Chains A and B, each alone.
Chain A
Amino acid sequence: MKLTLIQSGGFVGKTKIAEEDLSKQPQALQQHVQTIFSKGPAKAEPSAGDLNRDKETYSLEFNGTNLPLNTIRMNDDLQKLIAKMKGNLKYKKS
């Protein structure tokens, strides 16, 4: 039941990750995450109108499925968990 927040891009170009054991979260939050990921993968393509360069992007990984964070409709509890995870991001060594 591992939920992984992945930060990629940015000027440095290095991936950061934060992990959370979802089984330690309330049942309702677990169910909310499972519902989100049961819909399958969605791919975020940078749109021509997105002129951000070197801005970091976020995605969430659960059960082997990766979803761009900006495509997920989160409830308040998941938003709080993501905010906590953003504070715990560590660089992934290469």
Chain B
Amino acid sequence: MCIKRHSIQCIIPPYMMEKLMEKAENKPTAFKTKVQAYATDDKFRSKRQLFSKLSHGAKRVLLHESLKKATKKAAVNRAVYTAKNKETQPGTLVRKEGQAPVKDKDVNRAYDAAGYTWDFYYSLFGRNSIDSKGMKIIQTVHYGVKYDNAFWDGEQMIYGDGDGKIFSSFTTDIDIIGHELTHGVVQYECNLAYKDQSGALNESLADVFGTMIKQKTLNQTVKQADWLIGENCLLGKKYALRSLKAPGTAYVNHPDLGTDPQPATMSGYVNDPSDNGGVHTNSGIPNHAFYVAASAIGGYSWEKTGRIWYAALTDTKLVKANAGFADFKNATITHARKLFPGDSSVSKAVSDAWVTVGV
């Protein structure tokens, strides 16, 4: 069963890999290599628990090198509050920037993931926080009682604990936290209207950047990535909430949720009046376009495809608030040509991806 896989991944059992990672925490380069090996280990991938398995020390090392390079002018500023299971926000401050981890795992997960997200946007695009002006990243955990949702309210992120039966805490997946923070980024850029195709694009951008934030944190190539959203939050080894690789398959015959309704192409586009025109359903189409483009371009998704998608989302001339899928398609093709003028295969891959999904 170990054919075509790196020998280290086959021989070293997961518990030993964890030990090796702990020892390597003081050597960032070696540590990142081990994280990648750990991330591609089938045993963990099948459990879909990689991110939650990383220790605080491990997470700190992943962030340390990049965050310490940030200038005083551009530095992450996080604050995590608890709603103490009431529907209040922001609630009581538990951990602010620079403070040591606390006992509350949800607080630490939200704090760490916001750090990865800030680092992602700053190191790749020079974006200083949600508004690109150093906005404090405010998050509230333990919102409501058994609340099975996470949302962005225009100023901050809010996370529920889940019911413990269908959902675990909404802080358990870095892609969910990256998703919600990206809603903030979109708000300060093209500010896509939250209905119909522009709303589905808004949702898709949150998923696309959420999954890229996870991939960059785990140093995964497009081939190594699982392209799933919410694989820890939705309980059960077989389930995730969304799949960019194969929309409609994230969960199948789930006892409570049924089957993932997302379409991968325009032939499955739905007009669902109950969800602002199906924004969480139709987002599967641009999600899949990103996956197809990134897979064709290869390497790390954030290096080329991510840059193209970011350039499009920040281009308010080409992507207006009421933009549809075709507008975003044109913007991504335009920016693929601008960013990679010497390599027409990149813009062709982007164009082909949109054709694949029927846009």
Q: Which residues of A contact B (CB under 8 A)?
A: 6, 8-15, 45-46, 48, 50-56, 59, 90-91, 93-94
Contacts and interface: CB of A to CB of B under 8 A. Distances in A.
A61 B280 CA distance: 22
A40 to B, nearest CB: 16
Given A55-B151, A56-B149, A11 B176 contact: yes
A6 B180 CA distance: 24
A20 to B, nearest CB: 19
A62 to B, nearest CB: 16
A52 B152 contact: yes
20 contacts: A6-B274, A8-B274, A8-B275, A9-B275, A9-B280, A10-B148, A10-B280, A11-B176, A11-B230, A11-B280, A12-B230, A13-B241, A46-B194, A53-B180, A53-B187, A53-B194, A53-B206, A54-B179, A55-B149, A94-B258
Contacts, number: 92
A59 B274 contact: yes
Given A50-B194, A53-B151, A54-B149, A12 B276 contact: no
A17 to B, nearest CB: 10
A55 B180 CA distance: 11
B152 A53 contact: yes
Contact of A45 (B154, B195, B203, B234): B195
The listed residue with most B CB atoms (<10 A of its CB), out of A6, A11, A15, A59, is A11
B171 to A, nearest CB: 12
Interface string B201-239: 011001000000000000000000000001000100000
B327 to A, nearest CB: 18
Contacts of A48: 193, 321
A52 B151 contact: yes
B275 A15 contact: yes
A89 B48 CA distance: 28
Contacts of B195: 45-46
Chain B interface residue count: which class? 35 or more
B151 A11 contact: yes
A12 B193 contact: no
Given A53-B202, A55-B151, A13 B180 contact: no
A51 B257 contact: no
A51 B153 contact: yes
A12 B151 CA distance: 10
A11 B274 CA distance: 14
B184 to A, nearest CB: 8
B153 A52 contact: yes
B288 interface: no
Contacts of A52: 151-154
B139 interface: no
B189 to A, nearest CB: 13
A42 to B, nearest CB: 13
Contacts of A13: 203, 241, 275, 279-281
Nearest to B280: A13
B193 A14 contact: no
A45 B277 CA distance: 11
Contacts of A59: 274
A84 to B, nearest CB: 15
Interface string B330-355: 00000000000000000000000000
Contacts of B183: 53-54
Contacts of A12: 148-149, 167, 230, 234, 241, 257, 280
Contacts of B279: 9, 13
A46 B276 contact: yes
A94 B166 CA distance: 16
Contact of B151 (A6, A10, A45, A94): A10
A8 B165 CA distance: 20
B257 A93 contact: yes
